[in-house]
Structure formats: structure tokens, C-alpha cells
Structure 1
Amino acid sequence: MKEQPFMNKREINGRRFLAVTLLNATITVVEIIGGVVSGSLALLSDAFHNLGDSLSIVMGYVAQTISGRSENSRRTFGYRRAEILSAFLNALFLIVMSIFLIVEAIQRLEKPTHINGRVMLIVAVVGLIANLLSAVLLHEGSHDSLNIKATYLHVLSDSLSSVAVIIGAIILMYVNVPWLDPLLTIAVALYIAFEAWPIIKKTIEILMQSAPKLDYAAIEKDILAIDGVENIHHIHAWSMDEHRIIFSAHINCQDMKISECEQIYHQIEKLLTTKYNISHVTLQAECKRGQNEELFDTNDDEIHLCQ
């Protein structure tokens, strides 16, 4: 029940996704025509980037819808990682697109062509307005979801691209510098890759079940301070998404009734939830077994390799 307000905060209205998709589709058509007419690689690259945005937005909406499904016998942790997969694929697409644009821009530097700055300017201004509207629609949800953030970055990078194209178009209207258009393309592509890389890194960490950044020494100290806990070992922690941390551990307790042990469970769960922002806690109580083991089971990897 505690997660419900957060879910409401994360939800983005389907109409907003539809509006942003239609905006990007329109921009794509306009910029492809404008890029062909003006001869601008920067404009064409922005057009294909917008096409990728449209696909990204649709994918993001579908992933968010899937992630809201309840847990079942096939997905006991639910479908939260659908958004993580979507964020990873969107960010990866940005990286691939950036590499493609840089290669094309380098080839254009070797064989510069004439650019119609006036047409380039008009189309870029239209693209900028539409991209800014899309960014406004997605901005609210970008703070709480890697999936929405990846989609938002698509749109935001397009806005920056449009600004760069506008500046280039104004210059080209008065000065013949054929290398400026591909140079702007390279600059925008590098920025896109720079913004996308942290998302790829974070999503890979989640998908690989890397341990979240927790103060494990402090956790051990706090749990051992609870009356009845003699030792804690075999700790595992991982993230279901960018917000939900899962934690499991074995604790050694005095020989007691299950009803008494449950009181210790409640104290530990409250501690981990309130102080360390851990969403799901699984504990296994033991008396003598494992009482001399360390906090982390260093033999886990060897066991898994032998299986």
C-alpha cells in the first residue's frame, strides 16, 4: 500500500504519449522534406532522430503499461523491469544513432555540399517548437522513471539539436562555411551519447542484479543492536528497478518461539524500510547454523559455477 502514491506520481497519461508521438511523427516528415530540399545533413539526422523518438515513446508507453501488471505465478516480482528494458533499448538506440551520425558527418566533411540556410532555418524552428512542447509533456515523469527519463532525453536532445541547426542555418545564410553543418551534427551526436550513457550503465546494473549502494557495515551494526539478534550473515541485495530495493539475510537468534522471532522480524523490517529505503525484506532465522559465517557468502559464486 505504501507504493501506491509513488505509482500515481509516475503515471503519465496515455494522451500525452499520443500527443508527443504525433508531434514527433509530424516533425520527422517535415524535417526529411526540409533536409532533402536544403541539403542539410544536420536536418536529416535530426529527422531520423525524431523518427527514433516516436518509436521510443511508443515503446516507453507500452513498457509502463506492462510494468503496472500485478505479480503472478510466472512473474512473482511483477513486471517492473519492462520499463528498465525499455530504458536500456532506448538509450542503446541513442548511442547507435550517435555513432551513425558521426560517421555520416565525417564523410560529409570530406565532401562538403551547398546548404540552403533559409529552408534549413524555417524547418529547424518548427522542429524546435514541437520538441519543446513534447519535452514539457514528458518532463514531470522524467524524475521518477528511467524509462520516462530515456524517452524525455530523446526529446530534449532533439530540442538541443534543433537549436544547433538554427544557429548553423543563420550562419549559413550569410557565410559559406560548408563544414559547419557536419560539425554541428558531430557536436549534437556527442551530446546525445553523453546523456544516454549513464542510463545504459544504470539499467545494466539493475538487469545484472548488481548490489545497490548501501552502507552494509551500518546495516549490520543496526541489526545486531536489536535485542535477540546474535549474528547476521548471507546478505543479498539487488534492485528491481531504479527505486525498489530487495534485501534478504540470515539472522542468528536465541532459541525461541516463532511468535517471538516475528517481533524481531518486524523490528528489522521497520529499520531497513525507514532508514535504508529498502522496499522488500526477506529474513531467515537460524539458531546455531551459520553463526560463524561472514556478512557476505563468498562461496556463492563457486556454488553457482558448479551447478
Structure 2
Amino acid sequence: MHEHEHNDVNAMSQRRFFTVTILNSLITLIEFLGGVFSGSLSLLSDAFHNFADSASVVGSYYAHRISQRPQNQLNTFGYKRAQIISAFLNSLFLVIISVVLIVEGVQKLFKPEQINGNLMLIVAVVSTVANLVSTLLLSRGSKHNLNIRATYLHLLSDTLASLGVILGGILIKLFDWVLVDPIITIIVALYISAEAYPIIKKTVKILMQGSPTVDCYAIQKDMMNIEGITGVHHVHIWSVDENSIVFSAHINMQDMLISEAEKIYDPVAKLLHDKYGIEHVTLQAEVERGKKEDLYLDSRNDID
């Protein structure tokens, strides 16, 4: 991640988060009342989405603030994963809400209710404008930060949902087709789930110390080309967050002074940083120990 891209996240000020929170709180109230009085499930579902949005924006902001804390004795890798946890919870909540809405939508398909299309349409237009403003406010940084992307996805999904409600309101007003309301609810819920799943998958992988998409055998080959290294084994590679990759390995070298071994460490760190984007490298020098062992640690042994 380039420096200017990383600064996109930091550029999102407290005022933007505050503005989005206020907008979504007002939208939630308006849509909830509109849904109750119009009888529209899609408006009520959008109200619940916006309520989740407000909580998501606040949680995202505080997770971002926490992630900026420096490393300390309690968290030697810092607090970057606060944003990963926030992204996971936000996305999981989206999926749960979507499942509930799909169930409700299916029930409404078999038991349709009369809907006030005029009120539904007016509330949906107001909601769409406010949701669009909120989405634009948080669009910066959403491509390179899972936490912000999860929050941005909340807002984008509500914008799409509001557009769907507008379409539903028009169809109900013109043709009295009340079934369009639950149909739109189900379609939007399915779309939200499809968008949230990749974020859940990626955040779980990070939290489970899963390896990023890096070819460790290619790394081993490149390291073996560095003069002085005769073997590479017991490799571990993981991500602290979606942008910070950590690498550790045991390397075999000729018997030499520590001061001489240190001269090999720098080319290794430079290689891993420049070619593979690895920020933090830990190496354990050995002469013969482990030279015949596999690249990855044997599962029967403890991590060392």
C-alpha cells in the first residue's frame, strides 16, 4: 500500500464520521416511521440497515482511533487489528440482518399487505439523497482498508436499497403491485450478503493468522540466492492487518561471527520488503540445525 493511499484513511476526519452518524440517525427515524405508517417492509428493512450503519460508523471510527495507538508491553504488534475486528463484526451483522430480511420477505410474498405507495416513495427519495451523501463522505480509503470498506458497504447497500424502494413505490403507485416490496427486500438482502462475505472471509483469515497470498517457495529460492545463506526452513508468514505482513524464518549460514551474520540480514529484509511487501522480518541464524527440515514446521512439533 502506497503512502498516499494509506493517508486516505487517516484523512477521514472526525467531522465526516459525525456528519454521517447524524444523517443515518435521521434517516433511520424517518424510514422507521414511514415504514410503519405506509406498511412497507422494504422501508422498515432500510431503517434497520441505517440503524446498523450508524453503529457501524461509530464503531469504525473508534476502531480506527484505537488502531493508531503505538506498540506497548501489552500489544507488541500494536492495535492495528482493532480495525479487522470491526470489519468482521460489521460484515457479520450485515449477513445476519440480511437473513432476517429474506425470511420476512418470503413470508410477505405469501401474505402481501396493502402499502401506501405515495408515502413510501416520498420517504425513499429523502433516504436515497441522504444515503448517497453519506456514501460519498466515506468513499475515500474504502479500497485499501477493510474496516472502512465494511462501513462503506453498509452505506452503499442502503443507497441501493433506497433506490429499490423508490422503484417499488413507483410500481405500487402505478400498478398496485404490492409484491414488489418483499421482492426488492430479498434482492437487496442477497446482494448485501454477497458483498459482505468476502470481507468476512478475509478478516477471519487474518484473525486466524492465515498466510497472505505470497509464494513462500519463491521466497525460499530468492533467499537462497543471497550469498552466505545455505538453507531456509521453519517459515511463518502472517498479516497483522490487510496491509502489514510479518515474516519469520530459520536460515542456515556458514559458521561466522554475529557481526558478519548481521550483514546478511539487511539484504534479506530489503528483498522481502521490495519484492513481497513484507514489513517486519525476524530471522534465526543456524549452521547445521534444521538444515534438512521442511520449509514449513512439522505439524507434530510446537511452533518455535
Q: Report the TM-score range of the alignment, normalised by the length of the smaller protein.
A: over 0.9
Which position in structure 2 is the counterpart of 1:222? Answer: 222
Q: Which amino acid aligns with 2:210?
A: S
Q: Where in structure 2 are there 5+ consecutive unaligned residues?
A: none
Q: Where in structure 1 are there 5+ consecutive unaligned residues?
A: none
- Could you state the TM-score of these two structures normalised by the residue count of structure 1? 0.96
Q: Which amino acid aligns with 1:111?
A: K
Are residues 1:25 and 2:22 paired?
Answer: no
Contact 2:6 2:141 in 1 (8 A): no
Q: Distance in 2 between matches of 1:5 and 1:126?
A: 35
Contact 2:87 2:147 in 1 (8 A): yes
Q: Which amino acid aligns with 1:179?
A: L
Secondary structure of the residue that 2:301 maps to in structure 1?
helix
Contact 2:6 2:144 in 1 (8 A): no
1:131-164 CA-to-partner distances (Å, cap 9, x unmatched) read: 1101111001201210000000000000000011
Which position in structure 1 is the counterpart of 2:283? Answer: 283
Which position in structure 1 is the counterpart of 2:121? Answer: 121
Which position in structure 1 is the counterpart of 2:82? Answer: 82
Moved more, 7-16 or 242-251: 7-16
**Deviant stretches of 4+, over 3 Å:** 2-7
Which position in structure 2 is the counterpart of 1:99? Answer: 99
Report sequence identity in percent. 54
Secondary structure of the residue that 1:281 maps to in structure 2?
strand
Which position in structure 2 is the counterpart of 1:181? Answer: 181
Which position in structure 2 is the counterpart of 1:9? Answer: 8
Are residues 1:169 and 2:206 paired?
Answer: no
**How many aligned positions are there?**
302
Which position in structure 1 is the counterpart of 2:253? Answer: 253
Give the superposition deviation at 1:178.
2.0
Q: Which amino acid aligns with 1:303?
A: N
Secondary structure of the residue that 2:138 maps to in structure 1?
helix
Q: Which amino acid aligns with 2:107?
A: Q
Which position in structure 2 is the counterpart of 1:133? Answer: 133
Q: Distance in 2 between matches of 1:263 and 1:9?
A: 36
Which position in structure 1 is the counterpart of 2:110? Answer: 110
Give the superposition deviation at 1:304.
4.3
Which position in structure 2 is the counterpart of 1:152? Answer: 152
Contact 2:251 2:285 in 1 (8 A): yes
Q: Distance in 1 between matches of 2:106 and 2:7?
A: 46
| RMSD of aligned Cα (Å) | 1.4
1:229-249 CA-to-partner distances (Å, cap 9, x unmatched) read: 000000000010111100000
Which position in structure 1 is the counterpart of 2:239? Answer: 239
Give the superposition deviation at 1:3.
8.6
Which position in structure 2 is the counterpart of 1:49? Answer: 49
Are residues 1:71 and 2:76 paired?
Answer: no
1:190-232 CA-to-partner distances (Å, cap 9, x unmatched) read: 0010100000000000000011111112111110000000000
1:46-66 CA-to-partner distances (Å, cap 9, x unmatched) read: 001100100010000010000
Contact 2:5 2:141 in 1 (8 A): no
- Could you state the TM-score of these two structures normalised by the residue count of structure 2? 0.97
Give the superposition deviation at 1:277.
0.4
Q: Which amino acid aligns with 2:7?
A: N
Secondary structure of the residue that 1:139 maps to in structure 2?
coil
Which position in structure 1 is the counterpart of 2:58? Answer: 58
Secondary structure of the residue that 1:206 maps to in structure 2?
helix
Q: Distance in 1 between matches of 2:5 and 2:254?
A: 38
